[in-house]
Amino acid sequence: MKFDELSKRVIGCAIDVHKNLGPGLLESTYEQCFAHELKCDRIPFKLQHPLPVNYDGVKIDCGYRVDMLVDDKIIVELKSVEKVLPIHQAQLLTYMKLAGIKIGLLMNFNVRFMKNGIKRMVL
């Protein structure tokens, strides 16, 4: 599956969740419902996937977890915040670098229209 096609399908799942639930819920609620949508669409993913830090040739478990790793190609970082801050974008970029993943989606479900809550990032 090509990256753009996969990104579009993943974004479509997020939009479906947002249409059904709207803004204002906890991130964990969106995460579980989003996982359900991905599963229904037969998109492979890993939920709360551990992300070790490779330091000096040693993998160190620092407790980092990506919200979702989709098809081992896209990191999805979910938020339910009033405003996405630069630190949220930096977090996603850092996760992408640590994992060696080129595409990331930062999704904030606490928006009126989901299309305004999605930022696609590429390394």
The sign of the dihedral angle between the CA atoms of 88, 2, 102, 44 is positive
User: What is the pLDDT at residue 63?
Assistant: 86
Structural domain of 57: 3-122
67-94 per-residue burial string, b: 16 or more CB within 10 A, e: under 16: bbbbeebbbbbbbbeeebeeebeebbbe
User: What is the pLDDT at residue 2?
Assistant: 56
pLDDT in tens, 2-16: 558 999 999 999 999
User: What is the pLDDT at residue 97?
Assistant: 94
Please give the model's pTM, rounded to 2 decimal places: 0.90
Positions in the chain short of pLDDT 70: 1-3
Distance of alpha carbon 91 from alpha carbon 106, whole angstroms: 10
Distance of alpha carbon 10 from alpha carbon 123, whole angstroms: 19
Say which CATH number the domain at 70 has.
Answer: 3.40.1350
Q: How many domains does the chain have?
A: 1
User: What is the pLDDT at residue 36?
Assistant: 98
User: What is the pLDDT at residue 104?
Assistant: 96
User: What is the pLDDT at residue 54?
Assistant: 86
